[in-house]
Chains A and B, each alone.
Chain A
Amino acid sequence: MALGFAVGVFGVLILFHAAYSTIQYRGLLKITEEEFSGPPMNVVAELLLGLVFCIWAALTVPGKFLSIQPYSEENRIVSLPANSDFMIFNHRGKVFPLEMDVKLKH
């Protein structure tokens, strides 16, 4: 997750760099008075790299898919939670207190 996020940030940074170098390139073309026919090769390579990183991030950062099948291990409910709002203390544990020397020290 954290790794995916870092990769995503890195990918976006690469994209920014590619944008910046294209701007520089266009400035250069303006000076030499040539027509712009397409971005230079290294920019295209950078963009591709950035895209790959971003796809990686986009697929990993939102988290794993969860199974929707009710009988899969993640969804198969094996026990209900103790209904703790209705917990009562007047049970047999009262007669057999724990042999623990517990104390909250401060």
Chain B
Amino acid sequence: MVSKTEETQLSNLETQVDNGGGGAWEYLSLVRKLKVRRSDRVLKHGLSILNDPKKRSSLGPDEWTLYEQVAVAAMDCQSLDVAKDCIKVLQKKFPESKRVGRLEGMLLEAKGAWTEAEKAYSSLLEDNPLDQVIHKRRVAMAKAQGNVSVAIEWLNKYLEIFMADHDSWRELAEIYVSLQMYKQAAFCYEELILSQPMVPLYHLAYADVLYTLGGLENLQNAKKYYASTIDLTGGKNTRALFGICLCSSAIGQIAKGRNKDDKESPELQSLAATALEREYKQKASDKLSLLTAALKGLKVSS
């Protein structure tokens, strides 16, 4: 979860580090903590620390964490030589470690040697059949090969045991969305909302899925979840504001023919539209005309 303060902190550190202002280790730690994917920068700045013996030894035991981080980043950047060197260093230090074994499997993956990687993972799983990360790697491997249905199968099997693992629910939801299996995705997002009811982004994603599914009931629910996103973000989520407008207009179109028994709160959409206009005025005033045209098209403009 990356909050607003953390995001600004990250971007500040990023510019500082990119301009040679130091603080590379802090930046790398923050990247690790927030679990963001900045592989190119991690590779560059991580190596600059690792290649400097003085800096490296000042890290103490964190040195090995950095090696791991850089190894993964290097794989992500296809700098396989660097990754291999890092893993070699780690292996020398921790000869029997499962974690290093996992890195080796990932290196095989990055090379595209799927069968060998699979073999490595299965042998690791034999030692510890409940290693969550390796199960996840197998899912990722299936996905990387393009066998999305296999990935879903693995993931479902995994979730039968580790059913409280929300990262995997999220992955499953994203896979389902990519396959346009929205009903299944909606289920996954419900699961995510249950496990972390205060994360607005899950509400938002759920609302998106409901809106895509369509139908009067789903649209009304989608509007409710966009509303909850607005409430949880204090009205600072543009996508949710747009969502409210879209839902209202779609509901209006469907409900036109029918009797209007269920009272929709008409104010919410006009408020959302005004909020949007205001936000555009502040941040992108040159695109304001586009917005007003779009809102007019939706007939929600006040």
Contact = CB atoms under 8 A, between A and B. Distances in A.
A89 B144 contact: yes
B170 A83 contact: yes
A72 B137 CA distance: 35
Contact of A102 (B1, B43, B168): B43
Given A70-B200, A80-B1, A81-B1, A90 B145 contact: yes
A73 interface: yes
B78 A97 contact: yes
Interface in A29-84: 70-84
Given A81-B2, A83-B171, A76 B233 contact: yes
A80 B2 contact: yes
B3 A84 contact: no
B235 to A, nearest CB: 8
B2 A74 contact: no
A84 B71 CA distance: 13
B288 interface: no
B40 A74 contact: no
Interface stretch (B44-52, B215-223, B278-286, B290-298): B44-52
A87 interface: yes
B47 A86 contact: no
B213 interface: no
Given A89-B110, A104-B85, A76 B3 contact: yes
A88 interface: yes
Contacts of A84: 35, 37, 72
Which of A71, A72, A74 neighbours the largest number of chain B CB atoms within 10 Å of its CB? Answer: A71
A86 B140 contact: yes
A104 B144 contact: no
Contacts of A72: 234
B167 interface: yes
B154 to A, nearest CB: 11
B167 A89 contact: no
What's the interface size class on A, roughly? 20 to 34
A85 B44 contact: no
A98 interface: yes
Given A86-B139, A89-B78, A78 B7 contact: yes
Given A81-B36, A82-B37, A102 B47 contact: yes
B4 A93 contact: no
B133 A94 contact: no
Interface string A94-106: 1001101011111
Contacts of B74: 102
A88 B136 CA distance: 11
Contact of B77 (A87, A98, A104): A98
A89 B75 contact: yes
Given A90-B145, A104-B86, A79 B7 contact: yes
Interface in B89-121: 89, 106, 109-110, 112
B63 interface: no
A75 B199 CA distance: 9
B190 interface: no
Given A85-B136, A98-B77, A105-B51, A77 B3 contact: yes
Interface of A: 70-90, 93-94, 97-98, 100, 102-106
Given A77-B2, A80-B2, A88-B144, 7 more contacts: A79-B7, A85-B132, A87-B140, A88-B140, A94-B78, A103-B47, A106-B85
22 contacts: A72-B234, A73-B5, A74-B5, A77-B1, A80-B2, A81-B34, A81-B36, A82-B36, A85-B137, A85-B167, A86-B140, A87-B37, A87-B72, A89-B75, A89-B109, A90-B112, A90-B144, A93-B39, A93-B78, A97-B77, A98-B43, A105-B51
